[in-house]
Every structure is written in C-alpha cells, then in structure tokens.
Amino acid sequence: MILASKSPRRKEILKQLGFQVKIQVKDVEEISSKVELIDKIKDISYKKVIEVAKENQNSFVVGADTLVEIGGEVLGKPKNENEAREMLEKLSGKEHRVITAYTLINLEKNINISEAVESKVFFKLISREEIDWYIESKEPMDKAGAYGIQGLGAIFVDKIEGDFFSIMGFPINDFVKTLKKLGINIKDIQKI
C-alpha cells in the first residue's frame, strides 16, 4: 500500500496493523472550494491521494487530512510559535472537534472512497507555563490545532468522545471497516 502522506503518525498506525507501507507524496495545495467542513476535508484528502494514484494505477493508495475546529474556526498547523500559543490559548478549558478524512483509491480496481471521522476533545485549563513548556518542545509545530494527543499534548486532554486514532491522524477502525466492505479481510491486509 502507498501512503500519500509524510505523517509519521499515519505510517506508524498503519504499520502497527501489519500494512506494508511505502511513502509517496505529491505537493498539493491544501485548499477546497467545498462549502461544508466535512466536504472540504474529504476534498483535500482526495486531492492528496489522487495525484499519487495516477502514477500508481494498480496500487492501493491511501492518505488523510486532519483539522481542528473550535467555535466555527478551523485551526490548521501553526506557522510559528506565536500562532501555536494563540491556538493553545483558544483550546484551553474548552471542547473542540477533530475531523480526520481519509481517501482510498485504486484506479485499476475502480475504488475511490473518501470518509471522515469526527471526534470531540475536551481540554483542561492550560497555564501559561504549560503552554511555554509545550512550545519549547517543538511538538505543536507540525500538528493541526498545535497539539499531538499521542505525545506531550496528552497532558492537556481531560477526555475525548470518539476515535483516539482519528484524533491522532488516521481512523484505523473506520478504515478497516471500509476494507471489509470491499471484501478485504484483516488477514489479507499484508497483501494490499
């Protein structure tokens, strides 16, 4: 299987389940003209995958995109430390949505599926010292919403409602369900 993503978290999730993952990415502008948030993120996920799939017509190509939304505002990856600080201050003491969309394409088999999984994350109140400490770790800099639930950012999370792996960046449970619908069983995943 080809993973159209540089995300070490997505690679790790897929490899843990036994997928033989090869990384191949194309630079794609991560914008969408879709109106609804779910449609936008599915569209961006699709754009990342289709460009790689065109060069690998007989391969299964998968990719994903994750966003954080709070009060109608989408928080992507912070561009700098100040933006990371602003995002963490917005999330402090509040609930937010994490939406991860994934796309699976195999052009030869006429497979083209995009799904999205939504979860809720509840943050505790975060002190200024905790935010400074976290930003110094550099962990928030490559993550939507400026935190990683699987890393140091876990200390900010009071609770979640939904799929931990989706919040981490790839909803593996939903993905396996999609594979089952395609007639691909768990024992066959190493062949993909």
Predicted local distance difference test score (pLDDT) of residue 51: 96
Predicted local distance difference test score (pLDDT) of residue 149: 95
Predicted local distance difference test score (pLDDT) of residue 186: 78
Predicted local distance difference test score (pLDDT) of residue 61: 97
Q: Which domain holds residue 148?
A: 2-191
SS3 49: helix
Backbone φ and ψ of 30, nearest 5°: -85, 65
Distance of CA 121 to the CA centre of its chain: 14
CB neighbourhood size of 103 (10 A) = 25
Strand positions, DSSP E, the chain:
2-3, 22-23, 61-70, 73-75, 95-106, 111-123, 157-161
Going by C-alpha positions, the residue among 51, 60, 63 that lies closest to residue 106 is 60
* Catalytic residue of the set 65, 132, 163, 174: 65
Residues ≥6 apart with Cβ < 8 Å to 168: 9, 13, 148, 149, 150
What confidence tens digit (pLDDT) does each residue in 17-59 have? 889 999 999 999 989 999 999 999 999 999 999 999 999 999 9
Going by C-alpha positions, the residue among 78, 89, 180 that lies closest to residue 139 is 78
What confidence tens digit (pLDDT) does each residue in 163-188 have? 999 999 999 999 999 999 999 887 77
Q: How many domains does the chain have?
A: 1
SS3 185: coil
Would you say residue 189 has pLDDT above 90?
no
Query: Would you call 142 a catalytic residue per the annotation?
Result: no
DSSP state of 55: T
pTM flag (> 0.85): yes
Q: Give me the mean pLDDT over the 102-114 stretch.
A: 97
Predicted local distance difference test score (pLDDT) of residue 107: 97
Determine the Cα–Cα distance for residues 154 and 51; give it in Å rounded to an integer: 34
Q: Which CATH number fits the domain that encloses residue 57? A: 3.90.950.10
